[in-house]
Amino acid sequence: MRIVLMGPPGAGKGTQAKRMVDKFAMVHLSSGDIFRAEKASGSDLGAKLAGYMDSGQLVPDDVVVEMMAKAITRSDGPAGLLLDGFPRTVAQAEALDVQLAGADSPLDAVVVILVDSDAIVERITGRRSCGQCGESYHVKFLAPKAEGICDACGAELTQRTDDTESVVRERLDAYNKQTDPVIGYYKSRDGVDVIEINGNQTPDDVTGDVVSALESLKAGA
């Protein structure tokens, strides 16, 4: 299966993506993770990305499309593909369609996790993740057993630099203006199922809904 995972910042995409790739054996490509790795490498490109990311703005389409096209080509194999955080504009979605059509591997579905905008700031400012194994937590909704310590590997948990309230508001604004229209783009396309999931539930309940929707899709229902 080739799936795009969408949703506003704080919808829980990272948590759900990890569970989906375990369950359905897909390669997980997160544009945010790829950009953070480039930023951490200290390259000129990383410094350019940081300017946009740290202020909550979208990275320009030409840069995103080039980086993600390379990542998709590299990941090409028998397994499925889960794109997380990409595409985020209609221009990116169009470029992705061209690339996948050229490889004769079109998308099967777009999973959208919908969350009330009031809940988003609390969700994001409470997020923590493990710098070592990448496991995600939330201080209130998905707390680790010991505060600040990863249950999975025992390393210290960290907070993303763009998870502050003012940057979150910018990111939400970018989502509403630039990314929300991508859902309409996919709804008007033939051959792609748009699956909308209620994200205002526990992470386990969201996973349950996503898994049953994808199992129905696989079974051709």
Catalytic positions, written as ranges: 13, 88, 127, 160, 171
Spell out the long-range contacts of 190-193 with Cβ–Cβ below 8 A and sequence spacing 24 or more. 191/106, 191/107, 192/106, 192/107, 192/108, 192/109, 192/110, 193/108, 193/109, 193/110, 193/217
Select from 156, 174, 158 the least CA-distant residue to 120. Answer: 174
Cβ burial of 63 (10 Å; 0-12, 13-18, 19+) is middle
Is 175 near ligand AMP (CB under 6 A)?
no
Residue type for position 191? G
Which residue's C-beta sits nearest to ligand AMP? Answer: 32
Q: What part of residues 134-173 is at the interface with ligand AMP (CB under 6 A)?
A: 162, 171
Asked if omega into 87 is within 30° of 0 (cis), the reply is yes
Is 64 near ligand AMP (CB under 6 A)?
yes
CB atoms within 10 A of CB 182: 22
Size of the site for ligand AMP (CB under 6 A): 18
The token pair that represents 19 in the structure block: 């569970």
Is 8 near ligand AMP (CB under 6 A)?
no
Q: Which residue, 32 or 80, is less far from ligand AMP as judged by CB? A: 32
Bridging pattern class, strands 109-114 and 157-158 = unpaired
Is 185 near ligand AMP (CB under 6 A)?
no
CA 167 – CA 94 distance, rounded (Å) = 27
Is 59 near ligand AMP (CB under 6 A)?
yes
* x/- track of binding to ligand AMP for residues 75-114 (CB under 6 A): ----------xxxx---x----------------------
Least CB distance to ligand AMP at residue 141 (A): 18
| CA-to-CA separations, 131 to 11, 135, 149, 155, 156, in angstroms, rounded | 20, 8, 10, 7, 7
Is 120 near ligand AMP (CB under 6 A)?
no
Is 7 near ligand AMP (CB under 6 A)?
no
The residue within the footprint of ligand AMP, chosen from 15, 16, 31, 207 (CB under 6 A), is 31
Task: Give the interface segment with ligand AMP, choosing from 54-62, 130-138, 195-203, 213-221 (CB under 6 A).
Answer: 54-62
Q: Which residue, 12 or 32, is less far from ligand AMP as judged by CB? A: 32
CB 169 within 8 A of CB 10: no
Binding site for ligand AMP (CB under 6 A): 9, 31-32, 35, 52-53, 56-59, 64, 85-88, 92, 162, 171
